[in-house]
Amino acid sequence: MKKRSGPAFNQEKRPLKPCPQCHGAGFIKPMFYQMPCDRCEASGVVCKETGESLTKEDLVIQLRIRLTERNQELVEVRRQMAAMRAESNGRGYGAGGSRYHGD
């Protein structure tokens, strides 16, 4: 067993799953009105391993980690799209700007 004192240096991504009571919506609708879900504390997600709700601080950290990952993926996709657009100018011209039809 490792000896450690204090919190971890880096926050780790914890596996989350949709709340089984509200099905990820964050609220339940008994009959006529909507109420916040008690099981997930209106977040819509619970810990996948334990099934317990996350504290507000942990929830903010986990959502921030996921948002950062999605933003990095989006930047990479935009970079790839820009490279594809730069490769083909989309106007049908070949090298030197001429149109070669193979005649």
What is the DSSP secondary-structure string of 37-78? -TTTTTSSEEETTT-PPPPHHHHHHHHHHHHHHHHHHHHHHH
Residue 82 within any structural domain of the chain: yes
Number of domains forming the structure of the chain: 1
The domain of 60 spans 16-87
- Average pLDDT along the chain, 103 residues, taken 10 residues at a time: 70 91 91 91 93 92 95 96 76 62 63
Give 36's strand partners: 27
- Amino acid occupying residue 73: E
Query: What's residue 28's pLDDT?
Result: 92
Rg (C-alpha) for the chain, rounded Å, is 25
Residue 99 within any structural domain of the chain: no
Whether the predicted model's global pTM rises above the 0.85 cut? no
Residue 96 within any structural domain of the chain: no
10 Å Cβ neighbour count for 78? 10
